[in-house]
Chain A
Amino acid sequence: MHGDTMSFPVVLHLGPLQVTTTVATTWVIMALLVLVAWLVTRRLLLHPGRAQTVAEGIVSTIEEAIRAVAPNHVSLLLPFIATLWIFLVVANLCGLIPGVHSPTRDLSATAALAILVFLSVHWFGIRDQGLKAYLRHYLVPTPLLLPFHILSEITRTLALAVRLFGNIMSLEMAALLILLVAGFLAPVPILMLHVIEGLVQAYIFGMLALIYIASGLQTQQMRQEARNE
């Protein structure tokens, strides 16, 4: 881990952009995921092996979770939600590797993910219902509620970013502090807690994103059902 727990050193510059360790770690995670994807999918069989079974199990589980919330948009939402879950699990847990910090410990990364969720809610909503119809749902039941709707969108996006960042950062800091005070063996329970917390936070972030997107999609559907009635 780095000495300064709240700042991330710049590894290189890409023109005006600074590549910090967060971005570098993300690239490594991406490379790892791509490698795993290639290894798993290079020879897919109808009678799967162990790795293929695990991969199919993960994809099927995510599909089922999406189907439970938004049954009509499984194939539409699967790439975004599944990538979010898989990336967050790996990103949250990579902090367990000595000398590596989780990208999700960086507010810039969690904010980027939260902004992506915010944008995807509107993107999928507009794509499904059209711009006018989608924007109209902010005016129901009364246009007076528009500021509250907007405030709700901002706060939940902010909450997404801060919740993930705060949890992962606090876990890593706690582990670092215990490691510094008590030696190598003492942080093991904390690290176990880190595993659970990392999985839980990934699940919560992905599930909230799914619920936000699904609520944006189902608003129009509910309105149409009410109109039909």
Chain B
Amino acid sequence: MELSWSTFLLEIFNFLVLVWILKHFLYRPIQSVIARRQQDIDGRLAEAREKEAQAGQLQKDYEGRLAEWRSEREKSREALETELRSERVRREKLLADELEQQRSKSSAVDARRQGEQRRQLELQALEQGSRFAAKLLEQGAGPETETRLINLFLKSLAEMPEAQRLQLCEQIRDSAKAAPLRVASAHELDAGTRDKIEHGLAACLAREVACRFVEDPDLIAGVQVSLGAWTMGLNVRDELQGFAHLAPESVAG
């Protein structure tokens, strides 16, 4: 083991040369490319951060818009609900009015129908009553009833108001001056009754009258005085017909 000064010095020199060479031709270029890559990475990172910031801003904007849209949607929904409520109220009111109208119409129709029914029933009752009375009087009425009715007729002639009597006289004068008055009765009248009738009519008409007495069993009881189209009297048949025909519909039927 010996120390060679030549080797010692040359090794020092060699190493220093090697340091210089590697420094300039290995380390610096490699460090440079690493630095460039780092710079590139930093640039990309900065770009990525910028894009991230932009993305964050966009997200923020989007969230803001979304919140705004939600708010608008809520407002629109509330407006729609309000409109729907008012529309519903309006339609309910309309429906209630229509229902009220229908109800009134229905009530009117019901009332009319009930009135009609009531009238029909009344007419039916009158008719039945008339028939019943006619049936009863056909069997129950006799000459005495007739006499009573003739008396009542003569009494009414005697008590007839003056205006009505004059109008009656006028009508009879115009209708047939020479024709005799036809006096129908259900039963044969005796001479006294006939005279009473002729006198009663003459007194009422204030003139001489000629009467032609006929029998008409349909009258049931009472008399009927007729001259042409003019007729008056008091008999059961006419009275019953008058009773039954109180309603015009019944007469038409």
Interface residues of A (CB under 8 A from B): 6-8, 16-20, 22-23, 26-27, 30, 33-34, 37-38, 40-41, 44-46, 48, 52, 55-56, 59-60, 75, 78-80, 82-83, 86-87, 103, 106-109, 111-113, 115-116
A20-B15 contact given A37-B22, A79-B27, CB 8 Å threshold: no
The complex places the Cα of A206 from the Cα of B14 at a distance, in Å, of 17
Interface residues of B (CB under 8 A from A): 1-12, 14-23, 25-27, 29-34, 36-37, 40
- Distance of A221 from chain B, by nearest CB (Å): 24
- Having A17-B9, A108-B8, A112-B12, one finds 19 other A-B pairs with CB under 8 Å, namely A17-B6, A17-B10, A19-B6, A20-B6, A22-B7, A23-B6, A23-B11, A26-B10, A30-B18, A33-B18, A37-B21, A46-B37, A52-B33, A55-B30, A83-B19, A86-B22, A107-B3, A109-B7, A112-B9
Do A79 and B11 have beta carbons less than 8 Å apart?
Answer: no
- Complex A-B: 23 CB contacts under 8 Å: A6-B1, A22-B7, A23-B14, A26-B14, A37-B21, A37-B26, A41-B25, A44-B30, A45-B33, A46-B33, A46-B37, A52-B30, A56-B33, A60-B34, A75-B31, A78-B27, A79-B22, A83-B15, A83-B19, A86-B22, A107-B2, A108-B8, A116-B15
A109-B11 contact given A6-B1, A17-B6, A55-B30, CB 8 Å threshold: yes
Residue of B nearest to A21 (CB): B7
Dominant SS among interface residues on chain A: helix
The complex places the Cα of A40 from the Cα of B22 at a distance, in Å, of 12
Do A87 and B33 have beta carbons less than 8 Å apart?
Answer: no
The complex places the Cα of A44 from the Cα of B5 at a distance, in Å, of 40
The one of B6, B12, B31 that contacts A115, using a Cβ cutoff of 8 Å: B12
The complex places the Cα of A78 from the Cα of B26 at a distance, in Å, of 11
Do B15 and A112 have beta carbons less than 8 Å apart?
Answer: yes
The one of B5, B15, B27 that contacts A87, using a Cβ cutoff of 8 Å: B15
Do B29 and A44 have beta carbons less than 8 Å apart?
Answer: yes
The one of B4, B17, B21, B40 that contacts A8, using a Cβ cutoff of 8 Å: B4
B32 contact set on A, CB distance < 8 A: 44
B11 contact set on A, CB distance < 8 A: 22-23, 26, 103, 108-109, 112-113
